[in-house]
Structures are given as structure tokens and as C-alpha cells.
Structure 1
Amino acid sequence: MPEKKIDPVRPTDDEARGIARTLIAQVRFAALGVIDPETGAPSVTRVALVPGPDGVPMTLISTLSSHSGALKANPACSLLIGEPGAKGDPLTHPRLTLQARAEDADKTAHRDHYLSLYPKATLYYDFGDFHLVRFAPRKALLNGGFGKAYVLTPTDIVP
């Protein structure tokens, strides 16, 4: 008798939505994955992160960075949001992989909001080479801890 495959992905529920939204609301940095336009290879960097007023994550990126050029060439990207706690196995702590599309955001309109959540950016926010990017969710994979895997839609992330 063939073994029955068990789907490790749980049905999305309010707890999963809450974990994902909390990660976006509270985490102030993430790993950003892009495709290098010169090589076609994945490239990952760390970025500062704040939730926009609508809950969509945003970051400030210098046009001098390689990931800025990569996002201009291909706005499809991924963010890994969440950090392991001080104790225990790092794989038991919640983390969210957000598949998104990078979009320009109004840097002037969001200045006060961004700086209220990431005040250290005051040092460079107004530099001319920096632009504000929002990461419009397309799909998300939530690992809410051991045995808690979920697939989330954009409306699960941003109501």
C-alpha cells in the first residue's frame, strides 16, 4: 500500500494572518532577494524595513546600490522577514517569505511616517540618490514555528 503524502501546509487562519502582519509591523530589517540583471543569478542583501501606512513593507534604497538596478530591471523580488530569538533553535522562530513587486513610493509624502519608525534614517533620508520602495505582496510563505507552514495571499497580509 503506497504511503499517503501529508501536506505540511496548514489552512490559512487568523493566527497565521496575525503572525505575518505582526512580523511586517515590528521587524525593522529584512533580507531582500533580487535577480542580478548581468548574471541572472539571485542576489541577497539586507535592507531596512518599515510597514507603510497601509501595512505594505517599504524601504529606502540608494540608486548607487546593485539591488536598486536589479529592481529597476526586474521588480519581482522576495523579502525574508523575521529573526531568530535569543534562545532556542533558530528554525522554531516565525519568519515570512514575501514574494512581491517593488514599486516606487512617494518619498516626500511618507517622510514623517518612515522616520517615525526608523529614526536613524534621518541621516540619509533626504539624500538625492535615495528613493522609497514599497513591496506590493504577490504571495507569502509563513513558517510560524515548528510544524506551522502556511501559504498566504496579498489580502491575508494587507487587509
Structure 2
Amino acid sequence: MNETASMAKSALLRNKVGSLGVVDFENGGPYVSLANYACDRLGRPIFLFSQLARHTKGIALDSRVSLLVAEPAAEGDALTGLRASFMGVVEQVSADEVGKAYIAAHPYAAGYAGFKDFSFFRLYPETVHVVGGFGRIETFKAEDVLGA
């Protein structure tokens, strides 16, 4: 696997929170929110969203999303750190499929995962854009990062 792709996959698996970009349901423009995630056994991000959330309302109209996972440099210019955008479509999935993996990563979510207005979603990445530091910028097919 390409080194930059490997760095992106490691960052995705190592972290549990990212910035989720969706098409805004009110004005059709971009909307970004902070989102907790976990990964399924294939490394695809999974989420637990309330139907009341602005990003969930956007997803209901347009399922295209981007999840930015960032590891800013601890010192100096934050932009010298790794950042990877996992772009694709998100679909609602059953708690039976992904609930255990999500709750394992976010145990406090067990308290509201059963509420009627909360549902699990999975991101099916198609493209991954990675900035691995100054001058290290590559775009990959998702399978080249996550595996086939």
C-alpha cells in the first residue's frame, strides 16, 4: 500500500471524531459539523445521528458527505499535520450491523442509541484526499486506502 494511503487509513482507525461536511438542507450550501465515528470491520466510518440534527436533515436530501480526519501538528504550523477527507455517500444501517462497534468506541452513546430519533449510518467512501504534510498531497480511490 502507498505510504500516504497507509497514513490516511491509520489516522481513520486511530481517531474517533472528525468534521462531517454535508449539503445543507435549508440553502443547498456546505454545512460542516463535528461528528463522532467508529469504524466497521472493513474500516468504513459509522455514525449515530439524531434525526433532529442539521447534518442528518441534510443527508436526508443528499447523501453525499465528506468526513475530514485531521491530526494537526502539535507545534508550529498545524497544517503540516496529516488530514484526510473520506468522500462518498452515507446510508442508514441497522443497529444489529454496526451498533456494537460504535458503542465500543463511544460507550456513553449506549444511553441514547435506543432513542427513537437516533439511527446508525455508514459512510461508503469512494474517494480519499490526503494531505500528509507539505508537498505530500494525493487523491486515492477508497479501495486503495481501505482495501478491496
Common fold: TM-score over 0.5: yes
Aligned-residue RMSD, C-alpha: 1.3
Could you tell me which amino acid in structure 2 is paired with residue 138 of structure 1? Answer: E
Percentage of pairs with the same residue = 29
Contact 2:5 2:130 in 1 (8 A): no
After TM superposition, give the deviation of residue 155 of structure 1 in Å: 0.7
Aligned residues: 147
Point out 4+ residue stretches in structure 1 off by more than 3 angstroms.
none
Larger radius of gyration: 1
Greater strand fraction, Structure 1 or Structure 2? 2
Of 125, 149, 153, the residue aligned with 2:113 is 125
Residue equivalent to 2:99: 111
What is the correspondence of 1:131-142 to structure 2 with a 5 Å cutoff? 131-142=119-130
1:40 and 1:95 map into 2 onto residues whose CA distance is 25
Residue segments in structure 1 that go unaligned for 5+ positions in a row: 1-12
1:97 matches 2:51: no
Contact 2:82 2:133 in 1 (8 A): yes
Of 49, 63, 76, the residue aligned with 1:61 is 49
Residue equivalent to 1:86: 74
State the secondary structure of the residue aligned to 1:82: strand
Residue equivalent to 1:146: 134
**Cα shift readout 1:98-124 (whole Å, capped 9, x = no counterpart):** 211011122133222211122222222
Greater helix fraction, Structure 1 or Structure 2? 2
- TM-score scaled by length of structure 2: 0.92
Residue segments in structure 2 that go unaligned for 5+ positions in a row: none
Residue equivalent to 1:3: none
After TM superposition, give the deviation of residue 88 of structure 1 in Å: 2.5
- TM-score scaled by length of structure 1: 0.86
Could you tell me which amino acid in structure 2 is paired with residue 119 of structure 1? Answer: P
**Farther off after superposition, 142-151 or 106-115:** 106-115
